[in-house]
């Protein structure tokens, strides 16, 4: 997934695409539709600007699209499911724009990458830490 690699370098090596496929396969239909709509929005932008699919673009063309998407002002603060802004009483939220779609995909890709071994190591995980017990769990019987 070229988009994932451009968004979070190392994503292809961490097999983010497989994680996303598995996660989305058990997620809600609404979540799946948002993900597909987000992919379609970036693909549509590639076709509009360069008349080629995103994966067929040169690196600088992909960067141009992602830069435009990441620097635009978001129009739909709750597209990702989080209420980041408020609308005035009686007004409808704006339709998502390229930035909203990019942020949605970036969230998924980042979550997938930083849940992988490579991503956790990048954050400082060494694999040498463990708990003798489960913090906060005080009942007898243990956990194994």
Task: Give, for all 144 residues of the chain, the pLDDT tens digit.
Answer: 789 999 999 999 999 999 999 999 999 999 999 999 999 999 999 999 999 999 999 999 999 999 999 999 888 766 755 444 444 555 556 788 999 999 999 999 999 999 999 998 888 888 776 666 666 666 665 555
Q: Which domain holds residue 21?
A: 2-81+95-122
Q: How many domains does the chain fold into?
A: 1
Instruction: Tell me whether residue 104 is in a domain.
Output: yes
Instruction: Tell me whether residue 72 is in a domain.
Output: yes
Instruction: Tell me whether residue 88 is in a domain.
Output: no
Cα distance between residue 72 and residue 95, in whole Å: 14
Q: What is the pLDDT of residue 83?
A: 45
Instruction: Tell me whether residue 113 is in a domain.
Output: yes
Instruction: Tell me whether residue 62 is in a domain.
Output: yes
**Length of the chain, please?**
144
Cα distance between residue 10 and residue 16, in whole Å: 9
Q: What is the pLDDT of residue 75?
A: 84
Helix, strand or coil, per DSSP, at residue 44: helix
Q: What is the pLDDT of residue 42?
A: 96
Instruction: Tell me whether residue 144 is in a domain.
Output: no
Residue 118 CB neighbours (<10 A): 14
Instruction: Tell me whether residue 136 is in a domain.
Output: no
Beta strands in the chain (DSSP E): none
Q: What is the pLDDT of residue 85?
A: 44
Kindly report the pTM of this predicted structure: 0.78
Instruction: Tell me whether residue 137 is in a domain.
Output: no
């Amino acid at each position: 997934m070229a988009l994932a690699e451009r968004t979070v370098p190392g994503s292809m090596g961490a097999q983010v695409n497989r994680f996303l496929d598995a996660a989305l396969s058990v997620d809600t239909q609404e979540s799946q539709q948002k993900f597909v709509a987000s992919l379609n929005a970036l693909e549509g932008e590639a076709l509009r600007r360069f008349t080629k699919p995103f994966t067929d673009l040169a690196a600088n063309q992909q960067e141009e699209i992602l830069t435009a998407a990441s620097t635009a002002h978001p129009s739909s603060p709750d597209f990702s499911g989080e209420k980041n802004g408020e609308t005035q009483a009686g007004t409808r939220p704006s339709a998502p724009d390229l930035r909203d779609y990019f942020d949605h995909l970036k969230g998924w890709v980042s979550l997938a990458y930083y849940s992988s071994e490579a991503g956790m190591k990048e954050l400082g995980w060494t694999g040498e830490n463990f708990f003798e017990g489960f913090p906060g769990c005080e009942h007898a019987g243990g956990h194994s």
